[in-house]
Amino acid sequence: MPHTRENPHFPVAVIGGGQAGLAVAYELGRAGSPAVVLDAESATGDQWRRRWPSLRLFTPARHDGLPGSPFPAPRGAFPGKDDVAAYLTQFAEANAIDVRHGVRVTRLSTSPASFTLETTAGPMTANSVVVATGSTSTPHTPAFSRELDPGIVQLHSSEYRGPAHVPPGRILVVGYGTSGAEIAEELAKAGRDVTIAGRPTPTIPKPALAIAGDLWWLAMNRVLNRRTSIGRKAARRATEHGAPLIRISARDVRGAGAREVGRLTGAANGEPTFADGVTRPTPDVIIWCTGYRGDFRWIMIDGLDFDAKGYPVAPFGLPESVPGLAFLGMPFQTSVASHLLGGVGRDARDVATHLVRAGAGPA
C-alpha cells in the first residue's frame, strides 16, 4: 500500500488509548521512537467516566501512577473513576502523546514490509504495532443468560450507574469478586432487596493492606510473576478463581443487608438455577458481575496463535512468530499487577525496549 496522506504510515502504531496504550507511547517517546495512539473513545478517559459513580480503585494512589507521573492524590487515598479519567487526560497532554480519538481499528493484518490497519478513519500502515486494548474490551455474561425469562432485566456491571438507575424489585447480583461485592453492598445500603450469588474470592484484610501495603505491592510485581514458580501457580489460580476481595469483604456485604446464595449454574424454564438445587423467588433484575473478555477476532495475522479462551499466545506480550507485534495490558502478562494502572508501566518499558531494539516490523 503506498504511503500517502490518505493512507498514512507510522513507525509505531498503538491500538488502544487507555492506561496501557498511553504508558507504552510514553516509553517509546522516551526511547526516541514516537508512536501514534489510535483510540476508539471520543476523549481520553471516557471508558472510566462511564463507570458507576462510587467506583474506586482497589489500590492506593501511591501505587496508581503511570511512568514518570505519580498519581495526584494523597498516598493512601483510593482514587475514584473520575479521578482516573482526569489523570489519564493530564498524562497524555503533559507528555504530548499523539492520540487520535474516535479511530477504531477493525482489522489488523500484515503485508510484505509492514502491518496494515483498517480503521474507521481509513487504512493505515505501520512498521510495528502494539495492541493495547487489554482484556476488558467486551463485557462477559454466561451463555445461559439468553435462556432467562425476557421479563427479567439484565445488566452487566459495566452498565451499572448506581441504585437510582436500577429498576425496582428483587435484585440478583451474580459474581462475588470486588465489583459484585461493592455493587451488592451499595444497593443493600440504599434499601434495595439484594441477593448475591457466588462464592466470595479470598479477602485481603484491611489492616494487612494498610500495614503491609508496600510489601504487598512489591510481592505483586516481583514475586507473583511469570518468572517465578510461585508466580506461575498464582497466574493459573487467578485465571480460574478470580482476584481477591480488596477494601471490602463478604462480612461487609452481609452487614449491609444483602443475602448470599451459592453459585448460579444455569437456567430452567426461564428461571435461574443454583448449585444447591434450591428454588428461589424470581429476580426482577440481574446484574452480571462476571467480568470481561478480550476480543481479538479483528486480528488477521498468519502465524499468530490463540489459546482456548481466544487470547493471543504471546509470552510477556511478545509473540515470537510475528516480529514487530506486541501486546500490553493483558491479565498476568508478566505479573499479577500487569493489567493495573500502576503495574502496566513495567511491561510498557519492556515492550518499548524490545520494539526499539528490533527495529522495523515484519519482514
Banded pLDDT at 238 (limits 50, 70, 90): low
What pLDDT does residue 338 have?
Answer: 78
For the cut 50, the answer to whether the pLDDT of residue 175 exceeds it is yes
Statement to judge: residues 73 and 146 lie in one domain: no
Please tell me the distance from the alpha carbon of residue 313 to that of residue 305, in angstroms, as a whole number: 5
- Where does a domain end: 288, 318, 345? 288
For the cut 80, the answer to whether the pLDDT of residue 232 exceeds it is no
Question: CB–CB of 94/101 below 8 Å?
Answer: no
- Where does a domain end: 229, 259, 288? 288
For the cut 70, the answer to whether the pLDDT of residue 32 exceeds it is yes
Statement to judge: residues 41 and 19 lie in one domain: yes
Q: Which three three-digit cell numbers place residue 51?
A: 463507570
Statement to judge: residues 125 and 58 lie in one domain: yes
Q: In which domain, by residue range, is 59 found?
A: 9-137+294-358
For the cut 60, the answer to whether the pLDDT of residue 3 exceeds it is no
Give tens-digit pLDDT for 255-314. 999 999 999 999 999 999 999 999 899 999 999 999 888 899 999 999 999 998 888 999
Q: Which three three-digit cell numbers place residue 78?
A: 483510593
Tell me what the pLDDT averaged over the chain comes to: 89
Statement to judge: residues 127 and 253 lie in one domain: no
What pLDDT does residue 111 have?
Answer: 87
For the cut 70, the answer to whether the pLDDT of residue 334 exceeds it is yes
What pLDDT does residue 137 have?
Answer: 76
Statement to judge: residues 280 and 305 lie in one domain: no
Give tens-digit pLDDT for 339-361. 889 889 999 999 999 999 987 43
What pLDDT does residue 36 have?
Answer: 98
Total residues found in the chain within this entry:
363
Statement to judge: residues 261 and 282 lie in one domain: yes
What pLDDT does residue 352 have?
Answer: 97
**Residues sharing a CB contact under 8 Å with residue 260, sequence separation 6 or more, in sequence order:** 195, 196, 197, 250, 253, 254
Statement to judge: residues 108 and 192 lie in one domain: no
Statement to judge: residues 62 and 191 lie in one domain: no
218 assigned to some structural domain: no
What pLDDT does residue 209 have?
Answer: 59
277 assigned to some structural domain: yes
CATH number at residue 132: 3.50.50.60
315 assigned to some structural domain: yes
Statement to judge: residues 174 and 95 lie in one domain: no
What pLDDT does residue 180 have?
Answer: 95
231 assigned to some structural domain: no
Please tell me the distance from the alpha carbon of residue 162 to that of residue 246, in angstroms, as a whole number: 20
Statement to judge: residues 23 and 122 lie in one domain: yes
- Where does a domain end: 267, 288, 309? 288
Q: Using a pLDDT cut of 90, give the percent of the chain over it.
A: 70
220 assigned to some structural domain: no
Which of 115-124, 128-137, 166-175 bottoms out in mean pLDDT, i.e. has the lowest?
128-137
Answer with the residue of higher pLDDT: 2 or 65: 65
68 assigned to some structural domain: yes
What pLDDT does residue 119 have?
Answer: 98
Segment 99-112 mean pLDDT: 96
121 assigned to some structural domain: yes
For the cut 60, the answer to whether the pLDDT of residue 105 exceeds it is yes
212 assigned to some structural domain: no
Q: Using a pLDDT cut of 70, give the percent of the chain over it.
A: 86
Q: How many domains does the chain have?
A: 2
Question: CB–CB of 193/170 below 8 Å?
Answer: yes
Please tell me the distance from the alpha carbon of residue 145 to that of residue 271, in angstroms, as a whole number: 10
Statement to judge: residues 155 and 133 lie in one domain: no
What pLDDT does residue 171 have?
Answer: 99
For the cut 60, the answer to whether the pLDDT of residue 240 exceeds it is no
Answer with the residue of higher pLDDT: 136 or 241: 136
For the cut 70, the answer to whether the pLDDT of residue 207 exceeds it is no
For the cut 80, the answer to whether the pLDDT of residue 227 exceeds it is no
What pLDDT does residue 237 have?
Answer: 62
Which of 206-220, 237-251, 269-283 bottoms out in mean pLDDT, i.e. has the lowest?
206-220
Question: CB–CB of 329/135 below 8 Å?
Answer: yes
Segment 214-232 mean pLDDT: 63
The predicted model scores a pTM of 0.88
Statement to judge: residues 103 and 149 lie in one domain: no
Banded pLDDT at 363 (limits 50, 70, 90): very low
Answer with the residue of higher pLDDT: 333 or 266: 266
What pLDDT does residue 332 have?
Answer: 72
Give tens-digit pLDDT for 72-96. 999 989 999 999 999 999 999 999 9
